[in-house]
Chains A and B, each alone.
Chain A
């Protein structure tokens, strides 16, 4: 029996945590309806809030593949939920890289967990892909379609192909900050209660 292969229990764990992460993403997405700027602040909100379940998830990872699998699931769900497939490569690549980094730390070292989670958080930027990839024609079409220049500027000042690099960095940084925060919560609750 190969102990490095994922087992049924691991698949279920991944499924459960993916559902939770997606619920976090969904709730934050709801806030995004209020104003375009909030859409840009996903890169801060989701890494921080998502860090709590993710740090708990990291304590349950022992083998390679769980983070990768999670990113694949996120990509599939994003696609089915009508968010397009453009972000899929970014989601899956950040998942695989995060998995490799965590593996290097033997899934135990906190240092590699922090970096790994920071990388994993890059998937959040996939939310912006539909906007960025089609940015130019999108802006034109918004204007042609009767949008005021003001709204377009608002939208694209925050999100465009130049700021995307900045947003990616923000994701990474806030992912790392979130990791510390999430770790603190895991210690405060789950370790104290003796379930990890």
Chain B
């Protein structure tokens, strides 16, 4: 039983993202979903339950939190480790070990469980989550979904009675989300108490017992599963929540039988289309003695990625879909000229570009946009991309992308969405013609996703060609003109939305 009574909390040195007079009771065996916009306090509630507040994140706390009869304030974190388990958002940063085996047993080693018992628990969770094929592997070689499964197993090995999940699906594709839902179902069947904070709601709608809606640190609504399922899409979107049914409809369409799509009309081609030729790439290059063999059409059957020819319409938004591992990111990297071995050529406005020249005129906004911000102010960041540093032009771009007022702010002090816009700004400053986005909406709430969609549309209006890889059907329905589907590194289809 979790009991939160009249809790107020504010983070040290930060005005927002606190909680105001929150009271909440969660019974044993209940599954509760916390939803609401970014910064509404979902994560803060989870941190209250697992003790990270007040033991790790400092701030001002009043009220009381009791978990399984223990007062959190007076309980050390390690004592809570075997009572409350937490799966975090980012699979990349939550594991401690390098290999899967070590990660699964990490928690049990910390609290000094005898070796024989550790091994027994390890084999239990391995069986439970079907992890056999993942054992004895490097965590760095796993996909996001696999990492998340290992994270669940590692928590499970501690056998806590309460499971917390903090936006666990942010970096996962539809298949991996399905597996995650399966894990949650198993925990539920074992009678564990589960609290999930999440933006993507569809996979949880049959699992949760209760849904709690937060806004600005206050609990505004509470629904039962039935009430929640009965809410219409417009009601949800009025609250800034993502639709519950849309994704399922898309998943059926995209991953199911595609027979209906073969009749889809081939898109009409125009003269100013972008022509892509010889896009080949392989992770297993043929063995060579002195020099690498050039990748070519002849052997393309063995390649990881092979697109002999593809025409993309100019000045439009193209949604790139496909399962994890279908080659979406690699496709974008090749288009961008980041994969040196890829012999891709691009015909744009009658000019053919290949090799290093590809890098010009193209710009990719990476999944982790933090990697591409280098300077100490937004203005400097935009100027850095300009061949001729013109402050007026930079200012104009900054205004257009809604960043005015932040010119002198450090890019890293901005929110995720603002950072994305800074990156777009510098792409426009560099006069890039083709803008590539690698999953720009993973982990975003409804409001921010619609903002991204509007932004992408406006880029197409400026005459830029936008290619965006995504797992978000809503983004596709909001802004894409075409859908490009990859399967096993081959173009499955390109069609109008």
Direct contact of A and B (CB under 8 A): yes
> A189 contacts B56, CB within 8 Å?
no
Q: Within 8 Å CB of B410, what residues of A?
A: 189, 192-194
> A192 contacts B56, CB within 8 Å?
no
> A193 contacts B56, CB within 8 Å?
no
Residue A5 lies at the interface, judged by CB distance under 8 Å to chain B: no
Contact of A194 among B56, B376, B413 (CB under 8 A): B413
Q: Within 8 Å CB of B411, what residues of A?
A: 193
Interface residues of chain A: helix, strand, loop or mixed (majority): loop
Question: Beta-carbon contacts of B387-416 to A below 8 Å, as 1s and 0s?
Answer: 000000000000000000000001111000
* Shortest CB distance B480–A (Å): 34
Q: Known contacts A189-B376, A192-B376: does B56 contact A9 (CB below 8 Å)?
A: yes
Distance, CA A192 to CA B414, complexed state (A): 11
Residue A33 lies at the interface, judged by CB distance under 8 Å to chain B: no
Residue A34 lies at the interface, judged by CB distance under 8 Å to chain B: no
Residue A35 lies at the interface, judged by CB distance under 8 Å to chain B: no
Q: Within 8 Å CB of A189, what residues of B?
A: 376, 410, 412
* Shortest CB distance B4–A (Å): 24
Distance, CA A188 to CA B377, complexed state (A): 10
Q: Within 8 Å CB of A195, what residues of B?
A: 412
> A188 contacts B412, CB within 8 Å?
no
From B56, B410, B413, residue with most partner A Cβ within 10 Å:
B410
> B413 contacts A188, CB within 8 Å?
no
* Shortest CB distance A190–B (Å): 8
Query: How many B residues, CB 8 Å from partner?
Result: 6
Distance, CA A193 to CA B413, complexed state (A): 5
Question: Beta-carbon contacts of A178-189 to B below 8 Å, as 1s and 0s?
Answer: 000000000011
Which residues 435-459 of B sit at the A interface, judged by CB distance below 8 A?
A: none
Which residues 406-431 of B sit at the A interface, judged by CB distance below 8 A?
A: 410-413
* Shortest CB distance B54–A (Å): 13
Q: Within 8 Å CB of B376, what residues of A?
A: 188-189, 192
From B56, B376, B411, B413, residue with most partner A Cβ within 10 Å:
B376
Distance, CA A188 to CA B411, complexed state (A): 12
Distance, CA A9 to CA B376, complexed state (A): 28
Distance, CA A195 to CA B14, complexed state (A): 11
Distance, CA A192 to CA B412, complexed state (A): 9
Question: Beta-carbon contacts of A118-149 to B below 8 Å, as 1s and 0s?
Answer: 00000000000000000000000000000000
* Shortest CB distance B309–A (Å): 42
Q: Within 8 Å CB of B56, what residues of A?
A: 9
Distance, CA A193 to CA B410, complexed state (A): 5
Distance, CA A195 to CA B376, complexed state (A): 13
* Shortest CB distance A185–B (Å): 9
Distance, CA A195 to CA B410, complexed state (A): 11
Q: Within 8 Å CB of A9, what residues of B?
A: 56
Distance, CA A106 to CA B119, complexed state (A): 45
Chain B residue nearest in CB terms to A194: B413
Q: Within 8 Å CB of B412, what residues of A?
A: 189, 193, 195
Distance, CA A114 to CA B56, complexed state (A): 30
Distance, CA A194 to CA B11, complexed state (A): 14
Question: Beta-carbon contacts of A152-196 to B below 8 Å, as 1s and 0s?
Answer: 000000000000000000000000000000000000110011110
Q: Within 8 Å CB of A192, what residues of B?
A: 376, 410, 413
* Shortest CB distance B110–A (Å): 9
Distance, CA A102 to CA B429, complexed state (A): 45
Chain A residue nearest in CB terms to B56: A9
Question: Beta-carbon contacts of B49-73 to A below 8 Å, as 1s and 0s?
Answer: 0000000100000000000000000
Distance, CA A74 to CA B135, complexed state (A): 31
Distance, CA A192 to CA B56, complexed state (A): 24
Q: List 13 A-B contacts (CB under 8 A).
A: A9-B56, A188-B376, A189-B412, A192-B376, A192-B410, A192-B413, A193-B410, A193-B411, A193-B412, A193-B413, A194-B410, A194-B413, A195-B412
> Assuming A188-B376, A189-B412, A193-B413, what are 7 further A-B pairs, CB within 8 angstroms?
A192-B376, A193-B410, A193-B411, A193-B412, A194-B410, A194-B413, A195-B412
Residues of B whose CB lies within 8 Å of any CB of A are: 56, 376, 410-413
Residues of A whose CB lies within 8 Å of any CB of B are: 9, 188-189, 192-195
| For the complex of A and B, 5 pairs with smallest distance between CB atoms | A193-B412, A193-B410, A192-B410, A193-B413, A188-B376
